[in-house]
């Protein structure tokens, strides 16, 4: 089966754009599996998937690509270079502020696997960036940015373990300030739903 791994990889990546959701879900699963079994170049696959995110406007396909990135990271995160992690982080952060809630959720989930394998400095920088974006977005009354930064922070804290310990207090303080302030965009959004 090893000689067919590159062709399977290509096929599974193409199937992430299939109109049927079930095909996309199975392709994301299979891609993560084939890469872990046959030690294909993880960075090349993640780079290709990351490029596909920017090329697709379809919400369903973006979600499938994020799921595939997540599956690859789950099984092969330790083999991922810091350069690719930064590129994925940039794509995820951009999509955290999508108008589509499902895109925001899928993007944020990637942080669980990304921070699990990242260096502590990467986690620190990412957490501080999201805190800063969230704080300024709450002043600008930008609900997608507030909610996106909160989602990202939640997944980071959930998975970062000791790497995220030093920021827990600051993150919870930020969340508390949004909840305590009746005029905050988070409260207005929660009340309107």
Question: Within 10 Å of residue 33's Cβ, how many Cβ atoms?
Answer: 15
Whole-angstrom CA distances from 139 to 135, 171, 178, 186, 191 are 7, 16, 10, 11, 18
Q: pLDDT-based confidence at 193, cuts 50/70/90?
A: very low
Measured distance CA(76)–CA(73) in Å, rounded: 5
Handedness of CA 122, 107, 78, 40 (dihedral sign): negative
Q: pLDDT-based confidence at 184, cuts 50/70/90?
A: low
pLDDT tens column, 109-157:
999 899 989 988 899 899 999 999 988 887 777 778 888 898 899 899 8
pTM of the model: 0.85
User: Which residues make Cβ contacts (< 8 Å) with residue 149, sequence separation at least 6?
Assistant: 96, 130, 131, 133, 134, 137
* pLDDT score for 50: 95
* pLDDT score for 182: 55
Measured distance CA(45)–CA(126) in Å, rounded: 23
DSSP 20: S
Q: Is the pLDDT higher at 186 or at 105?
A: 105
Q: Is the pLDDT of residue 177 over 70?
A: yes
* pLDDT score for 189: 47
Q: Is the pLDDT of residue 31 over 70?
A: yes
Q: Is the pLDDT of residue 192 over 50?
A: no
Average pLDDT of the residues of the chain: 86
Is residue 156 classed exposed, middle or buried when 0-12, 13-18 and 19+ CB atoms within 10 A define those classes? buried
Ranges of beta strands (E only) in the chain are none
Average pLDDT over residues 67-72: 95
Average pLDDT over residues 39-46: 84
* pLDDT score for 94: 92
């Amino acid at each position: 089966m090893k000689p067919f791994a590159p062709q399977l990889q290509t096929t599974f990546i193409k199937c992430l754009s299939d109109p049927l959701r079930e095909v996309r879900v199975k392709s994301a699963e299979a891609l993560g599996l084939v890469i872990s079994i046959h030690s294909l170049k993880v960075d090349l696959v993640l780079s290709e998937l990351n490029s596909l995110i920017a090329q697709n406007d379809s919400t369903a396909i973006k979600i499938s690509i994020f799921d595939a990135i997540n599956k690859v990271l789950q099984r092969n995160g330790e083999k991922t270079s810091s350069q690719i992690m930064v590129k994925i982080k940039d794509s995820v952060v951009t999509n955290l502020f999508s108008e589509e809630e499902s895109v925001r959720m899928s993007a944020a989930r990637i942080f669980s696997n990304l921070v699990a394998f990242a260096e502590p400095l990467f986690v620190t920088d990412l957490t501080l960036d999201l805190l800063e974006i969230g704080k300024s977005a709450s002043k600008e009354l930008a609900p997608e940015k507030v909610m996106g930064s909160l989602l990202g922070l939640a997944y980071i804290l959930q998975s970062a373990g000791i790497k995220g310990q030093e920021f827990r207090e600051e993150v919870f303080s930020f969340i508390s300030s949004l909840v305590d302030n009746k005029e905050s965009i988070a409260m207005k959004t929660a009340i309107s739903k």
